[in-house]
């Protein structure tokens, strides 16, 4: 198949998203949206101690948004909160084999969702 | 299975008969038509003349009213800039409809820079021009209106005749972009009453890289590409003989086969539309229900994002378009290029929904089996994407719709 | 006998390899390159990218510095209008050389109308730019100079490097029309120092209806055809994929075969020129004797009118050109269109002689046998026309020459 | 052979010009030129009584100029002076099966040459 604007990794995560779904009793939930782009991302975290033991997402958005969400959950599972907070959108984009310039904001969206979910967790725990 | 090509609003495959007509002009008759005194230049010159006649016939124009350009985009640029510059002394205001193609709209800055002022006329929820708004926008200083004939994103066909009558009384020129209509539905430029009209070859199984412009006899128009004396002085440059011949052949075929094509397409699009309506909840069809291009089915689906839908359709072997068919934003340098479709915004679809639109544009070679296949995979794709959508999750929990 | 085609300055036949490279993009890969998300659009997009690379290589440019247009004429228009408009705030004066092609010269009225002023720089008897005159013509307000690289009517190659150095010091932009040189002789845009340069496909066995423009990285240029986002924003319109691919292939072949072609052509044109000089009295070769396009032989013959000569050559199976190769005046509406060649006038040939000029432009497939045949028929044709000429009669009686 | 801008009659007269040459002892000679176009036409008449008994021409010029000269000599041979004076450039052009718009002046040139030749004759005869 001829190559489109998306890398093979992006297409793989788009076609087979990892960790898609909800966590009913999530410890932290982050939801972000970009109305101009039309994307909406919701990230659910299960945290034990200071470690992310499970992560799931739901995303309304383009291929890049779905793949960024999927990749983000993969990258943070098993990480500590501090490690997860260091995850940059560039790292997500890089792990995906790059994103088209016009779609870089999708990885930013994932980073934002993660930050919000962790804040939500801290708030719930009375840590923030 | 072969690919299913439902993206004929972006471009159509070349007709074998068109290609066959073109080929001799690459090799046997390769001469420069300007070289009229040598044998090599004479056949090409004759072939151009005949092709011009064929394209004229397609829209009931005279041969001398058709000139060939490098694209529909160039035709739109030549018409708007050319009419504006030729009529500068009469006034400086130009009106564009809100649903013009980028090849009209994106001239605005250039024209403004030259001292013109662009006003915009609204359309209704079906994309039909708002005559009341037009009446309000027209001023003493208005010299030109651009109104697309058939919109390739939402399929709506505009009431050009009515607008032309209105404008004629006021001495205002009318350009219409017939890219989506000429060769797809019957077009008679005399009945429509337009002053200039754009035609595209690649929308009707001709090659990409050639357009035409109808210029009503006696219309003054300033060229934008200057040089040698070709195309009656309206457009300089050595003629693209094979493509001109191909356009002529595509026009001939389109004219001869139009009746059967339209019947076939009307049947197919009815089946597709009804099938989608009955199998997918919260689907919204865009454009006018009757005054539309044959074979054109456009819609948006709540809780489903368009690019993902388009990608899944592609993975299932189906080619379609989302947003503006001709101007995907993916090539843009940055996020700023990712604008909601101006056509959908103009008909009142909220910006966050626009990206969710899909255009299926069918054409002569599409079949009932293809429609059935598309109908068979659509619900599954929609379900998959909805299951993934936080908007849909929210809707199920709270009943909140997207609109 | 087959026709002898000595009119390669007007256009060249397409190379079979070029046509073969193009064909799949009419049928198998017909998609719109803007449709990046569907399979149909992806191969065409990749093919454009590769072709851009090939054209860039031909002139030692970077891929991102090449954009495709609809013709060399359009490239010249985009360069001149585009640079002028983008630099309007810096100044309003533009200099054209006296021997530019019509696709430069005929922009003058349009530009003047927009508030620019065109000055003209002279050439010497060989057609080489007069540096002293350039120095005199350059003002504080001058923003741009257009100097053709190789003139297709008289074959002269201009000292672009020297002019570029001179202009750079003064912050003046240089556009050069490389229609006659790019693909015929080695061209290195970085060495030449041009800001923009025009390339043509059909001058090097590519298709007619496509050109390219080199735009030096960082050069500001206002587009003249607006619309969708194609060609990095410099030129809107759905891409002519087959022709872009064909241009790429023609560029690749031209680059690879340039050395042998030049050797072959130098041999042929030497033979032709010497043969003509020794068999025809009162023949005057035009253009520079050494700094000229390979295979290019141009001249005028006293007491013989050019069109008649050209017609007789044609009847003898030989294609040539008279006056400007690209802009025959025959299509003109009236006698006013019949102007003496401005190029010949510029190098000092009296107007009444200009019509007597002939250009033989040879190219890769021409042979020694063809040259010999042309040499064998020329004296007879010249004699026939002289016997008919009252000027020759007068000369024989009074000794009065034409010049 | 595909058709160029010239009619078959023009091409025939161009290839096989009628009455090309000089008349040494011509009774009237007319010479006209159009420097912008580069054409030069010389017409020789032999006149007996008031009838043109012979006509010849020499022309430096394009296909249309040569054909117009040739056709003019054909049309006037055998005609009386008065008849010849009525010959219009349109008639020459028409007899040639038409000329391209840009070349109509060639037939005008022929008409002018004829008029000058007849004037020359009259002058020589002391008639003018
Ligand atoms: C020097 C030069 N520049 C530009 C052109 C214009 O080329 P085209 O007619 O292919 O646009 C020509 C004509 O061949 C030419 O000779
Ligand atoms: C309505 C309309 N006009 C003009 C164009 C421009 O056509 P092209 O890109 O072939 O120049 C398009 C795109 O196909 C279009 O949809």
C360 sits in which H/E element: strand C357-361
Please give the average pLDDT of every successive group of 10 residues along chain C, which has 403 residues.
92 98 95 90 94 98 98 98 98 98 97 97 98 98 98 97 98 98 98 98 98 98 96 96 98 98 98 98 96 97 90 96 56 57 88 77 98 98 95 88 67
Residue B140 CB contacts under 8 Å (≥ 6 apart), including other chains: B91
Q: Which of C14, C326, C328 sits opposite B30 (nearest CB)?
A: C14
Residue B326 annotated as catalytic = yes
- Predicted pLDDT at B153: 94
Q: Which of C34, C71, C85 sits opposite B326 (nearest CB)?
A: C34
Restricting to C residues 47-76, those with a Cβ less than 8 Å away from any Cβ of B are 69-74, 76
CA–CA distance, C183 with C243 (Å, rounded to integer): 16
Domains of chain C listed by start with CATH number: 4-9+258-398 (3.90.1150.10), 16-253 (3.40.640.10)
Structure tokens at D118: 């007849």
Structure tokens at C76: 């010249």
Chain D interface mutation, best of B24, B25, B34, B37, highest count of D Cβ atoms under 10 Å: B37
**What 3 state SS string does C227-261 have?**
CCCCHHHCCCCCCCHHHHHHHHHHHHHHHHHHHHH
The 10 Å CB-count burial string (b at 16+, else e) for A9-32 is ebbbbbeebbbbeebeebbbbbbb
C77 sits in which H/E element: helix C72-86
- Predicted pLDDT at B332: 54
- Is C37 in contact with A1 (Cβ distance < 8 A)? no
- Predicted pLDDT at B325: 39
Residue B273 CB contacts under 8 Å (≥ 6 apart), including other chains: B285, B297
Instruction: Check pocket membership of C180 for ligand 1, CB cut-off 6 A.
Output: yes
For chain B, the chains sharing at least 3 beta-carbon pairs closer than 8 angstroms are A, C, D
- Predicted pLDDT at B241: 98
SS3 C113: helix
Structure tokens at C119: 């000055």
For chain D, the chains sharing at least 3 beta-carbon pairs closer than 8 angstroms are B, C
Instruction: Check pocket membership of B326 for ligand 2, CB cut-off 6 A.
Output: yes
- C225-234 pLDDT, tens per residue? 999 999 999 9
C361 sits in which H/E element: strand C357-361
CA–CA distance, B29 with B26 (Å, rounded to integer): 6
User: Which residues does chain B have within 8 Å of residue A2's beta carbon, measured at their own beta carbons?
Assistant: none
Task: Indicate the pLDDT class of residue D35, thresholds 50, 70 and 90.
Answer: low
Q: What ipTM score was computed for the predicted complex, to two decimals? A: 0.94
CA–CA distance, C155 with C286 (Å, rounded to integer): 8
CA–CA distance, A27 with A49 (Å, rounded to integer): 11
CA–CA distance, D34 with D112 (Å, rounded to integer): 11
Q: Is residue A104 over pLDDT 90? A: no
- Mutating to test ligand 2, I would choose from B97, B148, B176, B179 the residue with most ligand atoms within 8 A of its C-beta, which is B179
Chain D interface mutation, best of B42, B44, B232, highest count of D Cβ atoms under 10 Å: B42
- Predicted pLDDT at C326: 36
Determine C/B contact with 3+ CB pairs under 8 A as the test. yes
Q: Which residue in the block uniquely carries the two structure tokens 């680059």?
A: C255
CA–CA distance, C19 with C207 (Å, rounded to integer): 8
Residues facing residue A41 across a β-bridge: A32, A59
- B337-356 pLDDT, tens per residue? 556 788 988 998 876 666 67
What is the distance in angstroms between the Cα of A94 and the nearest Cα belonging to chain B?
17
What ligand is nearest to the CA atom of residue C102?
1
User: Which residues does chain C have within 8 Å of residue A5's beta carbon, measured at their own beta carbons?
Assistant: 36-37
For ligand 1, the distance from its centroid to the CA atom of residue C103, given in whole angstroms, is 7
Q: Which residue in the block uniquely carries the two structure tokens 């006296």?
A: C98
CA–CA distance, D40 with C57 (Å, rounded to integer): 51
For ligand 2, the distance from its centroid to the CA atom of residue B65, given in whole angstroms, is 21
- Are the beta carbons of B300 and B357 closer than 8 angstroms? yes
CA–CA distance, B143 with B89 (Å, rounded to integer): 10
Sign of CA dihedral C145, C150, C153, C155: positive
A2 touches chain C (CB under 8 A): yes
CA–CA distance, C254 with C264 (Å, rounded to integer): 14
- C343-354 pLDDT, tens per residue? 988 998 876 665
End-to-end CA distance of chain A: 49
For ligand 2, the distance from its centroid to the CA atom of residue B113, given in whole angstroms, is 24
What is the distance in angstroms between the Cα of C169 and the nearest Cα belonging to chain B?
30
Query: Angle B205-B207-B211 (CA atoms, 0-180°, nearest 5)?
Result: 100
What is the distance in angstroms between the Cα of D6 and the nearest Cα belonging to chain B?
9
D38 touches chain B (CB under 8 A): no
- CB atoms < 10 A from the CB of B263, how many? 11
For ligand 2, the distance from its centroid to the CA atom of residue B29, given in whole angstroms, is 30
- Nearest atom in ligand 2 to the alpha carbon of residue B75 is 11
Q: Per 3-state DSSP, what percentage of chain A is helix, strand, and coil (rounded to 5)?
A: 45, 25, 30
Task: Indicate the pLDDT class of residue D67, thresholds 50, 70 and 90.
Answer: very high
What is the distance in angstroms between the Cα of D5 and the nearest Cα belonging to chain B?
7
CA–CA distance, A68 with A17 (Å, rounded to integer): 10
- Predicted pLDDT at C1: 65
- A15-49 pLDDT, tens per residue? 999 999 999 999 999 999 865 567 889 999 999 99
CA–CA distance, B356 with B337 (Å, rounded to integer): 17
DSSP letter string, D14-35 = HHS-TTBS--TT-SEEEEEEET
- B133-180 pLDDT, tens per residue? 999 999 999 999 999 999 999 999 999 999 999 999 999 999 999 999
D36 touches chain B (CB under 8 A): no
CA–CA distance, C94 with C105 (Å, rounded to integer): 11
- The distance from CA C10 to its chain's CA centroid, rounded to whole angstroms, is 8
- Are the beta carbons of C115 and C81 closer than 8 angstroms? no
Chain A interface mutation, best of B310, B312, B317, B352, highest count of A Cβ atoms under 10 Å: B352
Domains of chain D listed by start with CATH number: 8-123 (3.90.1010.10)
As a dihedral over the C-alpha atoms of residue B235, residue B238, residue B243, residue B244, rounded to 10 degrees, the angle is: 60
A33 sits in which H/E element: strand A28-34
What ligand is nearest to the CA atom of residue B104?
2
In this prediction, residues D3-28 reach a mean pLDDT of: 94
DSSP assigned state of C295: T
What is the distance in angstroms between the Cα of B392 and the nearest Cα belonging to chain A?
9
User: Which residues does chain C have within 8 Å of residue B76's beta carbon, measured at their own beta carbons?
Assistant: 227
What is the distance in angstroms between the Cα of A14 and the nearest Cα belonging to chain C?
13
A4 touches chain C (CB under 8 A): yes
- Predicted pLDDT at C324: 42
- Are the beta carbons of C38 and B314 closer than 8 angstroms? yes
- Per cent of chain B over pLDDT 90 is 84
Structure tokens at B365: 């070679």
- Is B37 in contact with D5 (Cβ distance < 8 A)? yes
Instruction: Check pocket membership of B226 for ligand 1, CB cut-off 6 A.
Output: no
- For chain B, the average pLDDT equals 93
What ligand is nearest to the CA atom of residue C225?
2
**Phi and psi dihedrals of B143, rounded to 5?**
-110, -20
- Is A60 in contact with B390 (Cβ distance < 8 A)? yes
- Mutating to test ligand 1, I would choose from C8, C71, C72 the residue with most ligand atoms within 8 A of its C-beta, which is C72
User: Which residues does chain D have within 8 Å of residue C337's beta carbon, measured at their own beta carbons?
Assistant: 102
D30 touches chain C (CB under 8 A): no
SS3 C208: coil
CA–CA distance, A77 with A16 (Å, rounded to integer): 17
- CB atoms < 10 A from the CB of D122, how many? 15
CA–CA distance, C188 with C61 (Å, rounded to integer): 8
Q: Which residue of A has its CA nearest to C45?
A: A4
DSSP assigned state of C213: E
- The distance from CA B159 to its chain's CA centroid, rounded to whole angstroms, is 16
User: Which residues does chain C have within 8 Å of residue D16's beta carbon, measured at their own beta carbons?
Assistant: none
For chain A, the chains sharing at least 3 beta-carbon pairs closer than 8 angstroms are B, C
For ligand 2, the distance from its centroid to the CA atom of residue B80, given in whole angstroms, is 15
Residue A65 CB contacts under 8 Å (≥ 6 apart), including other chains: A39, A41, A59, A106, A109, A110, B305
- B237-293 pLDDT, tens per residue? 999 999 999 999 999 999 999 999 999 999 999 999 999 999 999 999 999 999 999
Q: Which residue in the block uniquely carries the two structure tokens 């006149």?
A: D47
Q: Strand pairing of B318-319 and B4-5? A: parallel
- Predicted pLDDT at C103: 97
**What 3 state SS string does chain B have?**
CCCEECECCCCCCCCHHHHHHHHHHCCCCCCCCCCCCCHHHHHHHHHHHHHHHHHHHHCCCCHHHEEEECCHHHHHHHHHHHHHHHCCCCCCEEEEECCCCHHHHCCHHHHHHCCCEEEEECECCCCCECHHHHHHHCCCCEEEEECCCECCCCCEECCHHHHHHHHHHCCCEEEEECCCCECCECCCHHHHCCCEEEEECHHHCCCCCCEEEEECCCCCCCCCCCCCCCHHHCCCCCCCHHHHHHHHHHHHHHHHHHHHHHHHHHHHHHHHHHHHHHHCCCEEECCCCCCECCCEEEEEECCCCHHHHHHHHHHCCEECECCCCCCCCCCCCCHHHCCCCHHHHHCCCCHHHHCCEEEEECCCCCCHHHHHHHHHHHHHHHHHHHHCCHHHHHHHHHCCCCC
The 10 Å CB-count burial string (b at 16+, else e) for B2-22 is eebbbbbbbbbbbbeebbebb
DSSP assigned state of C170: T
Nearest CA to B266 among B289, B285, B286, B250?
B289
- Predicted pLDDT at C177: 98
- D72-117 pLDDT, tens per residue? 999 999 999 999 999 999 999 999 999 988 888 888 889 999 999 9
CA–CA distance, C241 with B71 (Å, rounded to integer): 13
């Amino acid at each position: 198949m001829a190559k489109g604007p998306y890398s093979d990794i992006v297409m793989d995560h788009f076609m087979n998203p990892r960790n898609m779904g909800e966590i009913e009793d999530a410890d932290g939930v982050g939801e972000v949206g970009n109305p101009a782009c039309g994307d909406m991302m919701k990230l659910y975290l299960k945290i034990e101690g200071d470690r992310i033991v499970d992560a799931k997402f739901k995303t309304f958005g383009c291929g890049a948004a779905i793949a960024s969400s999927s990749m983000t959950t993969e990258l943070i599972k098993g990480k500590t909160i501090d490690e997860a907070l260091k995850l940059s959108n560039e790292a997500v984009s890089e792990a995906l084999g790059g994103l088209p310039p016009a779609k870089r904001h999708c990885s930013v969206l994932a980073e934002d969702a993660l930050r919000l979910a962790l804040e939500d967790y801290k708030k719930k725990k009375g840590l923030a | 299975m072969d690919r299913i090509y439902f993206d004929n609003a972006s471009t159509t495959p070349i007709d074998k008969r068109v290609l066959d007509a073109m080929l001799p002009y690459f090799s046997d008759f390769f001469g420069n038509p300007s070289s009229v005194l040598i044998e090599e230049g004479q056949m090409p010159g004759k072939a151009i003349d005949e092709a011009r006649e064929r394209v004229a016939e397609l829209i009931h124009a005279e041969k001398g009213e058709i000139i060939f350009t490098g694209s529909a985009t160039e035709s739109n640029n030549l018409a708007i800039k050319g009419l504006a510059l030729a009529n500068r002394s009469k006034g400086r205001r130009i009106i564009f409809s809100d649903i013009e193609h980028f090849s009209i709209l994106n001239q605005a800055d250039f024209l403004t820079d030259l001292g013109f002022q662009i006003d915009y006329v609204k359309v209704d929820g079906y994309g039909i021009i708002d005559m009341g708004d037009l009446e309000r926008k027209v001023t003493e200083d208005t010299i030109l209106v651009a109104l697309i004939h058939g919109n390739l994103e939402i399929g709506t066909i505009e009431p050009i005749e009515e607008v032309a009558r209105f404008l004629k009384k006021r001495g205002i020129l009318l350009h219409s972009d017939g890219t989506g209509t000429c060769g797809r539905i019957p077009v008679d430029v005399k009945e429509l009453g337009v002053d200039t009209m754009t035609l595209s070859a690649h929308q009707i199984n001709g090659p990409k890289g050639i357009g035409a412009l109808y210029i009503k006899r006696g219309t003054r128009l300033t060229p934008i590409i200057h040089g040698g004396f070709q195309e009656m002085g309206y457009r300089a440059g050595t003629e693209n003989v094979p493509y001109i011949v191909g356009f002529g052949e595509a026009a001939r075929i389109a004219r001869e086969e139009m009746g059967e094509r339209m019947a076939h397409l009307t049947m197919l699009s009815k089946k597709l539309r009804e099938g989608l309506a009955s199998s997918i909840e919260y689907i919204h069809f865009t454009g006018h229900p009757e005054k539309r291009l044959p074979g054109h089915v456009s819609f948006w689906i709540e809780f489903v994002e368009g690019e993902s839908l388009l990608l899944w359709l592609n993975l299932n072997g189906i080619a379609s378009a989302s947003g503006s068919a001709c101007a995907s934003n993916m090539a843009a340098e940055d996020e700023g290029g990712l604008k909601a479709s101006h056509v959908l915004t103009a008909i009142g679809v909220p910006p966050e929904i626009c990206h969710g639109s899909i255009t299926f544009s069918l054409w002569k070679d599409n079949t009932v089996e293809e429609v059935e296949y598309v109908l068979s995979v659509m619900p599954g794709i929609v379900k998959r994407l909805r299951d993934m959508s936080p908007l849909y999750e929210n809707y199920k929990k709270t009943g909140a719709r997207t609109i």
